[in-house]
């Protein structure tokens, strides 16, 4: 009997050890399973990069390649191709001889106000070209002569807006750009804005005057600077911003009176909002500038370096949300819309 109890006790202990081993094994399996599940759950799903060109235009992300009905022409049109088919590449631009606008003035494809849209397809973007202006009639003639054919070959739905500063106060380029943005939207439902100095012409029509997923610097290699950038974060001359990008930086500063500083302030705003600058290839981005003496009312801004250093503090309150001006006149001809505005006076320093 004692031998039986001894054997039973041994069996009990063996069973207990076996149960304990099973419990430990099951616990290890459960813990391993849960950890594996957690790791899998935290692994991000792969993001498939789109194939094709590295840079995509802002409109291209949403524009389907499906027919669109043009009510005015009573026909169905496809969206224009990504690469316009009639581009010529390198161009001959010559400022040494006078040019005439007679042919352009009779171009039936241009509607009043310098507005054009391709007849053969639906443009993927509606582009407003904003030009700050004062006392540059000769430069404007050259700009219109060369740019209208380029923009038409690029198959853009575009309009040209010359924003002239009234009076004899110090010039304020950036504030005029803000005015151009506001006034152009009163005229048409634009989704892209190209801000261009009046004296810069691209010498390659593959440099597309449209908007991209990131802000675009278009005048990257000007003859004035030996066809190079004067410095890496230069954003002056000609640039493009989508409506979304423009509003994200609160437009441009209204407080840069005189020459210099506003383009660096714009660059700072873009970086502070997490955006980056894109540029065309160096050869495609070449431009020519009309040589001229500095305007009497556009002397260097002595406060520009101090102002640039405070972009972070000023951009939320200085921009499109603080813009004030009054329209003196609004006139349209075949080649452009001219808006003369009173933008006030610089503060006394």
Catalytic residue among 94, 294, 313, 348: 294
Of 204, 263, 265, 318, the active-site residue reads 263
Residues whose CB falls within 8 Å of the CB of residue 289, separated by 6 or more in sequence, listed in order: 199, 200, 201, 222, 223, 224
Helix (H) and strand (E) counts in the chain: 8, 12
Q: Which of 157, 199, 205, 264 is catalytic?
A: 199
264 Cα distance to chain centroid:
15
Question: Which is catalytic among the residues 107, 289, 330, 342?
Answer: 289
- Is 289 part of the annotated catalytic residue set? yes
Out of 204, 262, 265, 318, pick the active-site residue: 262
Cα–Cα dist 261/134, whole Å: 19
Active-site hit among 25, 86, 292, 312 = 292
- Distance in angstroms (rounded) separating the CA atoms of residues 219 and 200: 8
Q: Tell me if 327 sits within 8 A of 339, measured CB to CB.
A: yes
Residues in the chain: 349
User: Active site includes 1?
Assistant: no
From 157, 197, 205, 264, the catalytic residue: 197
Q: Does the annotation count 275 as an active-site position?
A: no
Active site residue 315: no
Residue 205 annotated among the catalytic residues of the structure: no
Whether residue 244 lies in the annotated active site: no
Provide the CB-side half-sphere exposure for 245 (13 A, CA): 26
Active-site pick, 259, 295, 330, 342:
259
Active-site residue list: 197, 199, 259, 262-263, 289, 292, 294
């Amino acid at each position: 009997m004692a031998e039986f109890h001894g054997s039973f006790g041994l069996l009990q202990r063996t069973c207990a050890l076996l149960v304990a081993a099973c419990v430990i094994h099951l616990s290890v399996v459960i813990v391993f399973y849960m950890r594996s599940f957690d790791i899998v759950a935290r692994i991000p799903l792969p993001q498939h990069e789109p194939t094709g060109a590295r840079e995509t235009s802002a409109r291209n992300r949403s524009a389907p390649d499906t027919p669109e009905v043009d009510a005015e022409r009573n026909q169905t049109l496809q969206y224009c191709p990504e690469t316009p088919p009639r581009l010529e590449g390198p161009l001959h631009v010559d400022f040494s001889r006078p040019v005439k606008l007679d042919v352009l003035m009779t171009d039936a494809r241009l509607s009043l106000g310098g507005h054009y849209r391709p007849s053969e397809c639906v443009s993927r973007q509606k582009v407003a070209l904003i030009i700050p202006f004062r006392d540059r009639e000769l430069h404007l003639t050259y700009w219109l002569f060369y740019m209208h054919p380029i923009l038409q070959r690029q198959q853009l739905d575009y309009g040209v807006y010359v924003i002239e500063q009234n009076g004899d106060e110090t010039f304020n380029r950036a504030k005029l750009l803000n005015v151009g943005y506001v006034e152009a939207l009163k005229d048409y439902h634009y989704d892209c804005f190209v801000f261009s100095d009046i004296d810069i012409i691209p010498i390659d029509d593959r440099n597309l005057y449209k908007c991209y997923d990131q802000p675009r610097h278009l005048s990257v290699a000007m003859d004035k600077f030996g066809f190079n950038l004067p410095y890496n974060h230069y954003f002056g001359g000609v640039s493009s911003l989508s409506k979304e990008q423009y509003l994200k930086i609160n437009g441009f500063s209204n407080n840069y009176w005189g020459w210099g500083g506003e383009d660096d302030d714009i660059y700072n705003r873009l970086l502070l909002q997490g955006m980056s600058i894109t540029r065309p290839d160096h050869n495609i981005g070449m431009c020519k500038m009309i040589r001229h003496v500095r305007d009497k009312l556009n002397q260097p801004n002595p406060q520009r370096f101090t102002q640039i250093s405070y972009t972070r503090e000023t951009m939320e309150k200085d921009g499109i949300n603080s813009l004030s001006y009054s329209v003196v006149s609004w006139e349209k001809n075949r080649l452009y819309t001219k808006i003369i505005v009173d933008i006030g006076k610089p503060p006394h320093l």
